[in-house]
Amino acid sequence: MKIINFAIVNRLDEGDDMKYAIFVIDMLKEFIEGSIPAKDAKTIIPNIKTIVEKAHDKSVPVFYLCDAHEEGDPELKIWGPHAMKGSEGAKVVDELTPKSNDIVIEKKTYTGFFNTPLDEKLKELGVSSIIMTGIHTHICVQHSAADAFYRGYDIIVIEDATAAATDVSHKQGLETMKSLYGAKIMKTEEVLRLFK
């Protein structure tokens, strides 16, 4: 895991003092071509790539939240072994391989905040608003959004840069994050316009 301290986090212009970070959640081989695939996982890759490249351009920090399971993780009882630490399935898809300044958070359950340094890193960087991408919308994206909400972060979810196993699950996830956590549901194009 490579951890980089950013001296400066760009303020992006949304007319306020928002300091953004991007989350790329579980865009791992396991969830795209492995045992627990998300239906539109392949089709959202270009949108995530566009967002990440823009973020790199503007020195907005990019966090990759990645399953890296070990024997005994409670979730394995539900889903069976998947994205096991060090396996091929636990690797980020080639198109989105993290760059040296990106921060990779290995997680053991749905949320990226549980027993990880994620919150501490976000606070170090002064992040106030998290832009969510990745899979699955109603599982790891939604649970990471819940934890972000509990900790006081504003949340944006990019609807065409997230995906789930079915359209129903995708929509349910978006609706839950909107109604319970006050998430703004936006499209890739709209989010790019925040990055002036």
121 Cβ neighbours under 8 A, 6+ residues apart: 3, 63, 103, 105
CB 20 within 8 A of CB 131: yes
Binding region for Zn ion (CB under 5 A) out of 5-13, 68-76, 117-125, 145-153: 68-76
* Residue 165 token pair: 């196993």
Residue type, 48: I
The Cα 71–Cα 111 span in angstroms is: 18
In the complex, what is the shortest distance from the CB of residue 8 to Zn ion, in angstroms, rounded to a whole number?
34
Task: Pick the closer one to Zn ion by CB: 121 or 136.
Answer: 136
Binding region for Zn ion (CB under 5 A) out of 38-46, 67-75, 98-106, 125-133: 67-75
Q: In 162-177, which positions are buried (b, 16+ CB within 10 angstroms) versus exposed (e)?
A: bbbbeeebbeebbebb
CB 110 within 8 A of CB 173: no
Binding region for Zn ion (CB under 5 A) out of 49-57, 74-82, 92-100, 176-184: 74-82
Binding region for Zn ion (CB under 5 A) out of 12-20, 69-77, 91-99, 114-122: 69-77
Contacts with Zn ion in 92-121 (CB under 5 A)?
none
Q: Is 40 in the site for Zn ion (CB under 5 A)?
A: no
Task: Pick the closer one to Zn ion by CB: 75 or 147.
Answer: 75
Give the residue, chosen from 30, 67, 102, 160, that forms a contact with Zn ion under the rule CB under 5 A: 67
In the complex, what is the shortest distance from the CB of residue 58 to Zn ion, in angstroms, rounded to a whole number?
31
Residue type, 57: D
Q: Footprint of Zn ion on this chain (CB under 5 A)?
A: 67, 75
